[in-house]
A and B are shown apart, each in its own frame.
Chain A
Amino acid sequence: MSTHNSALAAACALGLLSSAALADSPNLGKVITPEQVASWDISISPDGAGLPPGSGTPKQGEAVYASKCLACHGEKGAGKPNDALVGGIGSLVGDKPAMKTVGSFWPYATTIFDYVRRAMPYNESKTLTNDELYAVAAYILQLNGIIGENETMNAQTLPRVRMPNRDGFVTFVPAKPK
């Protein structure tokens, strides 16, 4: 596998990215405006791009969690019947099984907002308000000891949260032809 740049150069050389081939294309796509896409444009970058207005505190998040999350994720994120959200920090090395949670494993706090917004609560995904999302993210971060009880999560503060396993990832290098 070549590096991104040389592969891109190769793709250009093959005419994959040139507009020359467009003459043969049906060109049926309709132009769509950012306003039209907004309701679908729900992905959040690690730098926080895409985060909406709103805010929430751990205390507010505790109430959201109790009504929307606790049944699947247990008291204070302990897990059962579904994934634990808390604990396991420091468990990625050693003889005991690794316990991978938001606290011990997730490298970016922005992913909490992104994922909870798109997929949770399981039976009614995409229904939480922005304030509820910031609040529940704050609560999970506070339960893991990553932020304090009085910290507010919003579009500015959430991307700045330093997750414990932020540097725990290495990009895989695929095998090269022998």
Chain B
Amino acid sequence: MGHRKSKGVTIDADVVAGNGLLDRRVFLSGAAMSAATGGITFPDTAAGDPLPVESWMKTPGAPFVPYGQPSEYENKVARTFTTAPGTTGTGASRTPHHLLDGMITPNGLHFERHHSGIPDINPDAHRLVIHGLVKRSLVFTLDELTRYPMESRIAFIECGGNGQLLYQKEPAQVGVQQMQGQVSCAEWTGVKLAALLQEAGVDPKAKWILAEGADAAGMSRSLPLAEIMQDALIALYQNGERVRPANGYPIRLLLPGFEGNMNVKWLRRIKLTEGPTMTKDETSKYTITMPDGKSLQFVFAQEGKSVITRPSPGLTMKEPGFYEITGLAWSGYGKIAKVEISADGGKSWAPAALQEPVLSKALTRFRMAWRWNGGPAVLQSRATDDIGYVQPTREKMIADRGSRTIYHSNAVTTWGVSENGEVKHVYA
């Protein structure tokens, strides 16, 4: 903080880091606001026409509908997707974070990753089997699962490949949706896996489980029993309604903080085993090949990360003045403790405000006041979680891992603002 004069607050007192980052209190205090706006001219009176009385003010509006939809004016707020060659439902879709706010992702915009499309599952015919190293192999119907005590968990799910473009040598000319859109956050409600495992009676020899989906790809992953026992949920509800088909209807596994594909959708089978099954996805796909050719396997946690969602590419700033820098931070290790923002490419940093609630393994919304002076700016965010893990710079991530992988990219993302207000992805 700068010096304070006896009469009111000067601009300097509100500057917290280089290139116009301001103490958030300038937004909260009228006095500070007026003091801090030195050099900013307030808009002139609006053009002279009287306010029109629009047609919707004069005639009755639309009728009720059984299931509401967003305004038709918001039809650009949509997922984008890429599909594998020769397929329609296989690939990934991405959340338009640059057009959203808050911490919860609407169900229709939750990112997707399917390995063989979205199965059309009849809920009455769906079954969950628990077998392998158990005293009693059990089968559950959806009706039966619905009778168990439930709990809710607000959790992010992030694809292991989210952010992979940061491994490229040149900055991809894309925005936050294309770069970081494979992460979403919802309230998931369901039955503790531990309760069902107790019922089956776990053999002490069992150290892993295999979780498998009912989709045509039979998506399957091995999970270490001890590490998932505490948190794993069989989720039936997503933001209050039944889990969407694209997110695993009628049931999915939820493992807060763990790599997306481990949260197996359309869950049909859990097999208790002594060791990992070494499925296709945990051997050939979701591993990190290091510069020495060895590959890190069983990288479960999505490590601490953040991204600025506004301003960001595609959201051109029309004029200098006040803006809020906002975005999302998350960590598979726990809670976000701090998010720092830089507007000068990392030369100086200031802590952003974290919006409550700040929850473990959930998306956390951060906010920062910024006065853009109309000159070039380089915006970055850097997250620290409550175990002290600090989000790496891209340089550090590449130095540690090389770029022979596409997975677990959690480096700082940089947006360059030019004098005309355009925002571009750059490497700082």
Q: Flag whether B112 is at the interface (Cβ < 8 A).
A: no
Q: How far is the CB of A108 from chain B (nearest CB, A)?
A: 5
B85, A37: Cβ atoms under 8 Å?
no
Q: Flag whether B227 is at the interface (Cβ < 8 A).
A: yes
A119, B139: Cβ atoms under 8 Å?
no
Q: Which of A111, A169, A171, A177 contacts B279, CB < 8 Å?
A: A111
Residue of B nearest to A177 (CB): B387
Q: Which of B207, B268, B404 contacts A4, CB < 8 Å?
A: B207
Q: Flag whether A98 is at the interface (Cβ < 8 A).
A: yes
A118, B218: Cβ atoms under 8 Å?
yes
Q: Name, among A1, A19, A81, the residue most crowded by chain B CB atoms within 10 Å (CB to CB).
A: A1
Residues of B within 8 A of A106 (CB): 283-284
Residues of A within 8 A of B58 (CB): none
Q: Which of A26, A126, A171 contacts B298, CB < 8 Å?
A: A171
Q: Flag whether B389 is at the interface (Cβ < 8 A).
A: yes
Q: Flag whether B225 is at the interface (Cβ < 8 A).
A: yes
B210, A43: Cβ atoms under 8 Å?
yes
Residues of B within 8 A of A168 (CB): 293-295
B194, A16: Cβ atoms under 8 Å?
yes
- Report A7-22 CB contacts with B as 1/0, cut-off 8 Å: 1101100101111011
Q: Flag whether B173 is at the interface (Cβ < 8 A).
A: no
Q: Flag whether B349 is at the interface (Cβ < 8 A).
A: no
Q: Flag whether B364 is at the interface (Cβ < 8 A).
A: no
A/B pair count, beta carbons within 8 Å: 197
Rounded to whole angstroms, the CA-CA distance of A5 and B204 in the bound complex is 11
Rounded to whole angstroms, the CA-CA distance of A133 and B114 in the bound complex is 24
Rounded to whole angstroms, the CA-CA distance of A99 and B194 in the bound complex is 40
Q: How far is the CB of A34 from chain B (nearest CB, A)?
A: 7
Interface-lining segment among B103-111, B248-256, B270-278, B311-319: B270-278
Q: Which of A30, A43, A97 contacts B220, CB < 8 Å?
A: A43
Residue of A nearest to B197 (CB): A17
Rounded to whole angstroms, the CA-CA distance of A10 and B404 in the bound complex is 37
B277, A1: Cβ atoms under 8 Å?
no
Question: With A16-B229, A169-B283 given, is the CB distance from A22 to B198 under 8 Å?
Answer: yes
Rounded to whole angstroms, the CA-CA distance of A171 and B300 in the bound complex is 10
B229, A93: Cβ atoms under 8 Å?
no
Residues of A within 8 A of B130 (CB): 29
- Report B217-228 CB contacts with A as 1/0, cut-off 8 Å: 110100011110
Residues of B within 8 A of A30 (CB): 138-140
Rounded to whole angstroms, the CA-CA distance of A100 and B220 in the bound complex is 20
Q: Flag whether A67 is at the interface (Cβ < 8 A).
A: no
B131, A37: Cβ atoms under 8 Å?
yes
Q: How far is the CB of A136 from chain B (nearest CB, A)?
A: 15
A115, B85: Cβ atoms under 8 Å?
no
B293, A93: Cβ atoms under 8 Å?
yes
Q: Flag whether B24 is at the interface (Cβ < 8 A).
A: no
Residues of A within 8 A of B299 (CB): 172
A119, B138: Cβ atoms under 8 Å?
no
Q: How far is the CB of B337 from chain A (nearest CB, A)?
A: 11
| CB-contacts of A152-178 with B (<8 A) | 168-172, 174-178
Residues of A within 8 A of B212 (CB): 40, 43
Q: How far is the CB of B124 from chain A (nearest CB, A)?
A: 15
Question: With A45-B273, A108-B278, A169-B295 given, is the CB distance from A8 to B226 under 8 Å?
Answer: yes
Q: Which of A17, A24, A28, A82 contacts B147, CB < 8 Å?
A: A28
B216, A119: Cβ atoms under 8 Å?
yes
| CB-contacts of B49-84 with A (<8 A) | 84
Q: Which of B201, B230, B291, B303 contacts A93, CB < 8 Å?
A: B291
B220, A118: Cβ atoms under 8 Å?
yes
Q: How far is the CB of A135 from chain B (nearest CB, A)?
A: 19
Q: How far is the CB of A53 from chain B (nearest CB, A)?
A: 20
Residue of A nearest to B304 (CB): A175
Residue of B nearest to A80 (CB): B85
B284, A100: Cβ atoms under 8 Å?
yes
Q: Which of A21, A26, A92, A110 contacts B293, CB < 8 Å?
A: A92
Please list the 5 inter-chain residue pairs (A to B) with the smallest Cβ-Cβ separation, ordered nearest first. A178-B388, A29-B138, A118-B218, A81-B85, A7-B226
17 A–B pairs (Cβ distance < 8 Å), ordered by A: A8-B226, A11-B230, A14-B230, A22-B199, A28-B145, A29-B138, A29-B139, A30-B140, A31-B138, A43-B220, A93-B293, A111-B283, A119-B280, A170-B297, A172-B296, A175-B303, A178-B389
